Amino acid sequence: MAEATIASQLSLMLKAPPTLSSPSQSLLQQLKPMASSLRTIASFRIFSYSSADRRSPRATPSLLSFSSSLKSLAFSLLPSPLSRHQRGSAVNVSTNGRFSSVTSPKCAASLTDQLKSATEDIRQILKSKHCHPILVRLGWHDAGTYNKNVKEWPQRSGANGSLRFEVELKYKSNTGLVNALKLIQPIKDKYPAVSYADLFQLASATAIEEAGGPRIPMTYGRVDAPSPNYCPEEGRLPAAGASSPADHMRKVFYRMGFNDKEIVALSGAHTLGRARPERSSWGKPETKYTKNGPGAPGGQSWTVQWLKFDNSYFKEIKAKSDEDLLVLPTDAALFEDPSFKVYAEKYAEDQETFFKDFAEAHAKLSNLGAKFDPPEGIVLDAAP
Ligand code: HEM
């Protein structure tokens, strides 16, 4: 069995090379007994536990690369030639239903490659499933929990992948987003070096661009919040039906560090997608624009072409002339509040300005609360 082979390779590794310094030699002596323990461990199957796996333990669990787990365990006990920035994020492994944390080595180059491949896979999913809107919403709902008044990571919340945990996914505001996670999970399994936090933001930025929107200047390398203990409390995201919508939006978006211009620009994301009464209690069950899909039919969209990213959202909510199109109280507030209105009018007139401001605001949104490894982040090359 491959595991047994790896365990014996580890035994060979532990026959210390003569070039090592004496403290390392003595460390290796201490490690020898571990080789046999590792053989025993090798008889267990080690699974990565995603939140989806935990919800449904019978669902196909993804088998972690056993060799990489063992290698990383050996690695983490040896003096490491890797810098802290080259070290990977923790992966959860379990031999007996409990969780433990093992650091898997990854280098920046492989993360870059995996990010590029993941982008390509997301493009394919977008083509086949027409799921642009829900992927944008997934990224927004992970990042939009950020509290700028809290310094510590991940307690400050934001783009840290905590939305993968069941407790947060089950918040009323996140109803339906489990479907987005189901689309992302196979990509996560395929590219384990890419964090959930990165995947959520990558998926949103890719969906916007593929729908015809602006290219968002993205940085990757986000670290995932390690456990559901760091999920934010419910109620951090804006509610569509607040009694004073503009005040409510300011309260919530200012907490994230946004200003009025950014609030209006980001609201323009509703150029994509639909509201479904069974998810949010907003919108009609179906309209002439949604009854035949594409994707799952139904719901009420803000725009006629709700898979196309343009400035038609601002035109439609200004006109309010089509019963089949949705205007939430928070959407209407963009043309009612004097400060918001300046930007909403501008964006209805001038798509180029909207795209520029949206791209800047979304880049900021995608970075809210994020911790990067390496700290300067990773920028991918221009689109292939
Ligand atoms: C005032 C702030 C906001 C409120 C009150 C709000 C509210 C809502 C509601 C009620 C829905 C319908 C959900 C459903 O029934 O499935 C929705 C959908 C959506 N929201 Fe927002 N939203 C806000 C801001 C944003 C921002 C800032 C973004 C992105 C940057 C965004 C992106 C989306 C997208 C893409 C959808 C469509 C999802 C789909 O079709 O599955 N929203 N929003």
CA-based angle 174:243:246, to the nearest 5? Answer: 80
Q: Note the pLDDT tens digit of each residue in 61-97.
A: 333 333 333 333 332 322 232 232 333 333 332 223 3
What kind and span of H or E run contains 94?
A: strand 87-94
The residues facing 87 across adjacent strands are: 105
- Testing ligand 1's pocket by substitution, the residue of 129, 135, 137, 272 carrying the most ligand atoms inside 8 A of its CB is 137
- CA-281 nearest atom, ligand 1: 15
Is the C-beta atom of 330 inside 6 A of ligand 1?
Answer: yes
Pick the residue whose CA is nearest to atom 16 on ligand 1: 275
* pLDDT surpassing 70 at residue 29: no
Is the C-beta atom of 240 inside 6 A of ligand 1?
Answer: yes
**pTM for the full model?**
0.77
- Cα(125) to ligand 1 centroid in Å equals 21
pLDDT for residue 30:
45
Q: Are 130 and 307 in contact, with CB atoms under 8 Å apart?
A: yes
* 92 against 320, higher pLDDT: 320
Which of 90, 86, 93 shows the shortest CA–CA distance to 110?
A: 86
- Testing ligand 1's pocket by substitution, the residue of 131, 140, 308 carrying the most ligand atoms inside 8 A of its CB is 140
pLDDT for residue 67:
33
pLDDT for residue 108:
63
Q: Which of 132, 141, 248, 270 is catalytic?
A: 141
Pick the residue whose CA is nearest to atom 2 on ligand 1: 238
- CA-277 nearest atom, ligand 1: 15
- Tell me the angle at which helices 312-319 and 338-349 cross, rounded to the nearest 10 degrees: 120
pLDDT for residue 182:
98
Is the C-beta atom of 275 inside 6 A of ligand 1?
Answer: yes
Q: Note the pLDDT tens digit of each residue in 12-22.
A: 333 333 333 33
- Cα(127) to ligand 1 centroid in Å equals 21
Compute the distance between CA of residue 314 and CA of residue 380 in angstroms, rounded to an integer.
Answer: 31
- Cα(240) to ligand 1 centroid in Å equals 9
Pick the residue whose CA is nearest to atom 23 on ligand 1: 267
The residues facing 378 across adjacent strands are: 220
- Cα(137) to ligand 1 centroid in Å equals 6
Q: Where are the domains of the chain?
A: 2-21+39-105, 108-384
In which residue are the tokens 């796996």 written? 53
* pLDDT surpassing 60 at residue 381: yes
* Distance from the Cα of residue 102 to its chain's centroid: 22
* 47 against 261, higher pLDDT: 261
% of the chain residues with pLDDT over 90: 70
Pick the residue whose CA is nearest to atom 15 on ligand 1: 275
- Cα(138) to ligand 1 centroid in Å equals 10
- Cα(151) to ligand 1 centroid in Å equals 27
Is the C-beta atom of 279 inside 6 A of ligand 1?
Answer: yes
* 86 against 331, higher pLDDT: 331
Q: Are 29 and 37 in contact, with CB atoms under 8 Å apart?
A: no
Q: Are 174 and 242 in contact, with CB atoms under 8 Å apart?
A: no
pLDDT for residue 109:
62
Is the C-beta atom of 195 inside 6 A of ligand 1?
Answer: no
* pLDDT surpassing 60 at residue 341: yes
141 is catalytic: yes
Conformational region of residue 317, where left means phi above 0, alpha means psi within -120 to 50, and beta covers everything else = alpha
Q: Note the pLDDT tens digit of each residue in 101-155.
A: 333 445 666 999 999 999 999 999 999 999 999 999 999 999 999 999 999 999 9
Query: What is the domain class of 108-384 according to CATH?
Result: mainly alpha
Average pLDDT across the chain, whole number: 80
| Residue 58 banded pLDDT, cuts 50, 70, 90 | very low
C-alpha dihedral sign at 302, 305, 310, 316: negative
pLDDT for residue 107:
60
* pLDDT surpassing 50 at residue 355: yes
